[in-house]
Amino acid sequence: MWRASIFTLFPGMFPGPLGASLAGEGLSRGVWALETHDIRDHGLGRHRAVDDTPAGGGPGMVIRADVLAAALDSGIAAGDSRPRLLLSPRGPSLRQQRVRSLAQGEGVILICGRFEGVDERIIAARGLEEISIGDYILSGGELAAMILLDACVRLLPGVMGKEASGLEESFESGLLEYPHFTRPREFEGREIPDVLLSGDHARIKAWRDAEALRLTRERRPDLLEADRKTR
Ligand code: SAH
């Protein structure tokens, strides 16, 4: 079973939105499992302190390496080889290719930062890999972890209704996806493109391929460039 272990100061945030819809059904059917570890259980002193002021001064607080190490050491079994991902705006941005490879593995260990982040030393000391979900700053790693999980879980066998629908989507082919239409045939004077109603599957595929390419050229030429470079 694909397993996600989350280290967080806010275990109550999980499963949150992952408890609904397809991910939630997969969770209750045992297609995947989620466990949370409260970093605060390893906090120091009467107040269970997990953070302290930054060395060198400056605003905010930093999660202590010793506290986080104690949490990780008690929560991760020896021999657990799942990737240990630290949600962090400094990591490389998560992309669909990585999502797919994570989904094909045994699961993930996710570490959610808060405040200014974590003491730098924990990264090398516990073999953490930083990963970002995009170039903006969230207030904590929990929502980022949920986004990563949602992207992975929907690819697990038995989570999405139709296996095929995962393959044609944006990014899977290196392109943005073609536009979709459904009934009614005419909506406020706008028609569904004729070709989609023609029943001619070869023409439909050609139209969709051309649209995917056009949209990618217009909106994300960087994707075409990346694709060209990897060939
Ligand atoms: N001071 C840090 C930001 C800390 S934000 C900096 O400037 O780089 C607090 C926590 O939110 C981080 O430790 C991280 O776990 C999470 N976080 C914020 N933005 C994120 C992003 N884009 N991707 C993944 N995690 C993020």
Angle between helices 141-153 and 21-28 in degrees, nearest 10: 80
Pairing assessment for the beta strands 51-52 and 186-187 based on DSSP bridges: unpaired
Report if residue 118 sits inside a domain.
yes
The whole-number pLDDT of residue 166 equals: 59
The reported pLDDT for the residue numbered 190 is 98
Q: Let me know if residue 161 belongs to a domain.
A: no
Question: Are 117 and 224 contained in the same domain?
Answer: no
- Count of structural domains, the chain: 2
Distance 147 CA to ligand 1 centre (A): 14
Is residue 224 a part of any domain in this protein? yes
Dihedral sign (CA 201, 202, 206, 212):
positive
The answer to whether residues 116 and 217 belong to one domain is no
Binding-site residues sit at 113, 133-138
The verdict on 175 and 209 lying in the same domain is: yes
The CATH number of the domain holding residue 201 is: 1.10.1270.20
Assign residue 103 the CATH number of its domain.
Answer: 3.40.1280.10
Domain boundary among 101, 127, 153: 153
Q: What is the pLDDT of residue 163?
A: 58
* 86 and 197 part of one domain: no
Among 93, 124, 153, the domain-final residue is: 153
**Averaged in consecutive runs of 10 residues, what is the pLDDT profile of the chain (231 residues)?**
98 98 97 98 98 98 98 98 98 97 98 98 98 98 98 95 65 92 98 98 98 98 84 66
Domain assignment present for residue 158? The answer is no
- Do both 193 and 124 map to the same domain? no
Can you give the pLDDT at residue 173?
Answer: 82
Rounded to the nearest angstrom, the distance between the alpha carbon of 144 and the centre of ligand 1 is: 9
Residue list, annotated binding site for S-adenosyl-L-methionine: 113, 133-138
Please tell me whether residues 35 and 146 are part of one structural domain.
yes
Q: Ligand 1 center to residue 136 CA distance, Å? A: 8
Are the CB atoms for 16 and 145 separated by under 8 Å? no
Give the model's pLDDT for residue 169. 80
Pocket residues: Cβ below 6 A from ligand 1? 87-90, 112-114, 116-117, 132-134, 136-138, 140-141, 144
What global pTM score does this model have? 0.95
Containing structural domain, residue 174: 168-230
Q: Is residue 149 domain-shared with residue 214, that is, in the same domain?
A: no
Which residue, 124, 153, 182, sits at the end of a domain?
Answer: 153
Range list of H helices, the chain: 21-28, 65-75, 96-104, 121-125, 141-153, 201-219, 221-230
Statement to judge: residues 29 and 117 lie in one domain: yes
Residue 146 within any structural domain of the chain: yes
